[in-house]
Amino acid sequence: MTAAAKVPSEATGLTREVAEFVHGIRQGDLPAVVVENGKKSILDGLGLALSGSVAKSGEYVRHHLDDIGAVNGTATVIGTDRKVPPRFAAFANGVGIHADDYDDTQLAVAKDRVYGLLTHPTAPALPSALAMGETLGASGADVMLAYHIGVEVECKIAEAINPRHYQTGFHATATCGTYASAAAAGRLMGLNVEQLLRALSIAGSQSAGLRENFGTMTKPFHAGRSSESGVAAAQFASYGWTAAPTILEAPRGFFSAAGGGYDENAISGKLGNPWTFDSPGISIKPHPSGSLTHPGMTEMLRLIKENGIKASDVEHVRIGTNHNMPNALIHHRPQNELQAKFSMQFCMAILLLEGRAGLNEFTDEVVLRDDVKAMIAKVDFVVDERAEAAGYHLMTTYIDIKLKDGRTISGMADFGKGSPANPMSYDEVATKFLECAEFARWDMGRAREVVGMVAEFEKLADIRKLMALVSN
């Protein structure tokens, strides 16, 4: 436990503070920068749900929906012609958004918090807001506010819990994301503070997900399940289902059981003050791989372009980071595309070979190519004392490329493209969205309509108009 962390006490009323925030915030409380940054992540999430719908996991999700008889519902499974009950749409779309590990990531504030390893905020929050908003015929403004509320709750809880939570195996997108979904759905349903307290508590008892499953379909399952669980929690709370009122701070509650403590100063008084979308910001991914690879990938691309490096020139590559990064990027010799997303070696190798790393590069066929395996063997991924000293709130990555002519080309980066330090514009996110839509073989005319509609999201009279564009 850090010096700032504390053992929870039932007297703090922290869960109530969260519930009051969810209930009390208004559209006018959203700063303009938060609204505009949120639109980028909403567009990003919709595109990823489209591309995720054609992943193998999307096929299995639809098989599951058939098995449980999830039909004749009110909420869209994006990329399909299916309407299912809202909790199952939240599940399907949460899996879809996270299927390619291409979705946005929360940044850390405190130096003991692992940058890029807190949570993926949109994957649990947006499907919940869309599913409940579509079911209720809510406006774009109401859905946007619910989404922002969910993201804010998720991110501040992730920032507050003792870092042991993630370091020893919990996946924060799965655990903290459940609260995000409950908050977003509960707000749209008009739950009062007491009902929201119960919804958060029910969500807490469904909060689960382990990092050992990184590199498998179960990682995106985490995002879908957390979104589904939050919707179910809000629904049960609306029925009158009872639950403890102090699920976050109680001695047997979430912070204690899942982290051994928390930093009250990271959450109490900080909800919407500032909004996470304003500071420290949310990072949007330029590549469909773990966010910890992105500073190195951004720097590797720069070095390749500026020095004209060819794969045939390379003798050896050294990648140095802090020790938390190899603890997450665990697949050093990946055997499939899901493992490759958590392989620094693959990410560096494919850039050297192809000069790009998009959805078409992260396939089983590419991962198993002989030239890819040979290049991976040339990449060492090690702990670097300089990166360790920089602090875990950074993703400091050192690169040394030894060439066959005897030269060594070196570089360093703390942040990657898409981070608040090097952000994507709305137009750049729109380009990514259209690439995802094309990958899903989606009608590009409709895809361009989505880009324009999300740009004016708050003006939508009924969210169903948008959902019709992303369903068959």
Per the CB < 8 A criterion, the answer to whether 287 and 102 are in contact is yes
Per the CB < 8 A criterion, the answer to whether 86 and 94 are in contact is no
pTM as predicted: 0.90
Return the pLDDT at 284.
96
DSSP three-state, residue 75:
strand
Phi, psi of 74 (to 5 degrees): -115, 0
Please give the Cα distance from 284 to 418 (Å, whole number): 5
Pair of tokens at residue 228: 């589904």
- The pLDDT tens digits along the chain (472 residues) read 333 344 444 445 999 999 999 999 999 999 999 999 999 999 999 999 999 999 999 999 999 999 999 989 999 999 999 999 999 999 999 999 999 999 999 987 776 666 555 799 999 999 999 999 999 999 999 999 999 999 999 999 999 999 899 889 999 999 999 999 999 999 999 999 999 999 999 999 999 999 999 889 999 999 999 999 999 999 999 999 999 999 999 999 999 999 999 999 999 999 999 999 999 999 999 999 988 899 999 999 999 999 999 999 999 999 999 998 998 899 999 999 989 999 999 999 999 999 999 999 999 999 999 999 999 999 999 999 999 999 877 889 999 999 999 999 999 999 899 999 899 999 999 999 999 999 999 999 999 999 999 999 999 999 999 999 999 9
Per the CB < 8 A criterion, the answer to whether 81 and 203 are in contact is no
Alpha-helical (H) ranges within 68-139 are: 86-98, 122-136
CA end-to-end span of the chain, whole Å?
50
Per the CB < 8 A criterion, the answer to whether 296 and 399 are in contact is yes
| Closest to 180 in 3D by CA, of 137, 124, 142 | 124
| Residue reference for tokens 């791989």 | 289
Please give the Cα distance from 242 to 240 (Å, whole number): 6
Pair of tokens at residue 135: 């079911």
| Closest to 104 in 3D by CA, of 90, 91, 122, 128 | 122
Residue 99 Cα distances to 110, 174, 294, 388, angstroms: 29, 14, 18, 30
Where b means 16+ CB within 10 Å and e means fewer, 17-35 reads bbbebbbebeeeebeeebb
Phi, psi of 320 (to 5 degrees): -115, 130
Return the pLDDT at 113.
67
Please give the Cα distance from 361 to 364 (Å, whole number): 9
Q: Is 241 exposed, middle or buried (0-12, 13-18, 19+ CB in 10 A)?
A: middle
